[in-house]
Amino acid sequence: MNEKIEVLGLQINNIIAKDALKNVVAYMETEPINIIEMVTMKTIGAFQEMEDANEVFGTIDLALASDKGILQAAGVQEERHLKEVDELLFIKMVLKYLHKNEGKVFLLAETQADLQKLALYMEEDYARIQVVETATMEVQGASDDMLLNLVNGAEVGCVLSALPSPMEERFVARNKLLINARLWLGLGNLLDEMKKEKTGFQKVKEFVSRQLLKKEMAKKGENA
């Protein structure tokens, strides 16, 4: 299964975690770089405000839903797939793959606080992954050239990015042809969800977001 679904104008790959991981393995063995983006509710909201949404989103090679509500809004009902997405299984499988192969990675975040959280998570749960270099947009992001020099100089196979949307996608769209790595994995704002069990408040918040998305999708259908 690797069809695409459309959610408020964004083309998202409808693919199970095991098959998505096969893409990762292939990407790590080929050039040039391939971009995988975890699409959140915030991603979808951000792209509704962008005039160049299709152009920017089109640079992504594999766009994967990180919330089962995104799939449900597009009519996906397969319980196994929805459960995988809810548990962020794909991200965990990728990190296990990099851990097993002692992959070399570059960690990128918006702030120093976010970078520290990401680095600590890697150290605690995936210690065999080699973090070669790190950067934040608040320090190195003043110019694309400064950040690109750091990434390319690190000579890593994978960039793990925790940048928010649309900062993440815009940077990649501007610089995809210049990034010297095999894989760019955009985690967005998922780090906190990866680190701990969801609280009751988080579950309620997710439910509300899913209901709002369903309403927007229904509205779009009525206006089509």
Return the DSSP state at 224: -
pLDDT at position 196, please? Answer: 57
Instruction: Give the residue-averaged pLDDT of 153-169.
Output: 96
pLDDT at position 201, please? Answer: 44
What angle in degrees, to the nearest 10, is found between the helix axes of 167-175 and 144-154? Answer: 70
Query: Could you tell me the two tokens for 88?
Result: 């962020």
- Tens-digit pLDDT profile for residues 169-187: 999 999 999 999 999 999 9
Please give the full DSSP string across 153-190, using - where no structure is assigned.
Answer: HHT-SEEEE-PPTTHHHHHHHHHGGG--SSEEEE-TT-
pLDDT at position 200, please? Answer: 46
Average per-residue pLDDT for the chain: 88
| Predicted confidence (pLDDT) at residue 198 exceeds the cutoff of 50 | no
Please give the full DSSP string across 50-86, using - where no structure is assigned.
Answer: -TTHHHHHTT-SEEEESSHHHHHHTT---HHHHHHHH
pLDDT at position 188, please? Answer: 87
Cβ atoms of 176 and 31 closer than 8 Å: no
> For the chain, which residues make up each domain, given as ranges?
2-223
| Predicted confidence (pLDDT) at residue 204 exceeds the cutoff of 80 | no
- Tens-digit pLDDT profile for residues 89-145: 999 999 999 999 999 999 999 999 999 999 999 999 999 999 999 999 998 887 899
| Predicted confidence (pLDDT) at residue 2 exceeds the cutoff of 70 | no
| Predicted confidence (pLDDT) at residue 220 exceeds the cutoff of 90 | no
- Tens-digit pLDDT profile for residues 33-52: 999 999 998 899 889 889 99
pLDDT at position 189, please? Answer: 82
pLDDT at position 218, please? Answer: 56
Query: Could you tell me the two tokens for 53?
Result: 């949404």
